[in-house]
Structure 1
């Protein structure tokens, strides 16, 4: 399946939950992947042609950069943060996640008027984000026993 055949659509927060849970935190209760701010976010899914079930999901929020890096521009003060980015294991490595993340960069710049996009990324995925134009900032930290780093991309 070519990533250019993937359809990116707005979805509800509820529609993101099964994939968030199964990919990101399968050993925790479903409540672990729910965010208090879900109601105020924009949620997107990547769909295969003819399928009603998303194979990747991402949620986007207006959220300022925490401890903005010294070289961040004043334009980046209006920032978008993506969270709970998950791609079904059988669709990873096929360009689906890249297509969905690129869509978020475009939405953040054109619809939300943001100058930067950021996230808390598992350090195991940091290289993937770096290959898509993001860079690390801040200190490494943990959520449970998983190591994270902050990543950002100026738009």
Structure 2
């Protein structure tokens, strides 16, 4: 992770990595989100690089209803989507740092009390090791199995 910086980027700057990592066998349009213009997008960069090695997009989005969807749906929640790390750089702490940055941004910049995502089942254990937990039923996007995951933020009163 040494030498990698994280900064806010445009939605357009996330697209190449989103596409190549998450859905390479689909057209680029498959990774575009209608809400991209309202999101907060972040990239992890090596020094002097112009393209990110990891990207994540964060949106204010209510927690979906589920039989076990506490916290209360009345609290303000963020949702991250299209989180991708170049496979050459996975396992080096870059994705963990970028995810933590998204958590921090959800609290600081978006005033959210929880964050959630649709996680590929193949990555669910990775998210659990970073403080998230599964909720709701397993579902599919195409032939890929997903589960919803969330993390609540502890806020301290002054």
TM bin, normalised by shorter chain, reads: over 0.9
| Structure 1 equivalent of residue 135 of structure 2 | 137
Q: CA 1:70–1:125 in structure 2 vs 1: closer, same or farther (change >3 Å)?
A: closer
Q: CA 1:44–1:127 in structure 2 vs 1: closer, same or farther (change >3 Å)?
A: same
Unaligned runs of 5+ in 1: none
Distance 1:69 1:89 in 2: 35
Correspondent of 2:29 among 31, 36, 44: 31
RMSD: 1.4
TM-score, normalised to structure 2's length? 0.93
Distance 2:60 2:69 in 1: 21
TM-score, normalised to structure 1's length? 0.94
Matches for 1:35-46 after TM superposition, within 5 Å = 35-46=33-44
Q: Which stretches of structure 1, 4 residues or more, deviate above 3 A after TM superposition? A: 68-71, 73-76
Distance 1:27 1:80 in 2: 28
Unaligned runs of 5+ in 2: 154-158
Count residues with an aligned counterpart. Answer: 153
Structure in which a larger fraction of residues adopt helix: 1
The secondary structure found in structure 2 opposite 1:50 is coil
| Structure 2 equivalent of residue 21 of structure 1 | 19
Give 1:78 deviation, angstroms.
Answer: 0.4
Q: Say whether the 8 Å CA contact 2:21–2:85 is kept in structure 1.
A: yes
Matches for 1:1-155 after TM superposition, within 5 Å = 3-68=1-66, 70=68, 72-74=70-72, 77-155=75-153
Distance 1:71 1:119 in 2: 13
Give 1:68 deviation, angstroms.
Answer: 5.0
Give 1:4 deviation, angstroms.
Answer: 3.9
The secondary structure found in structure 1 opposite 2:98 is helix
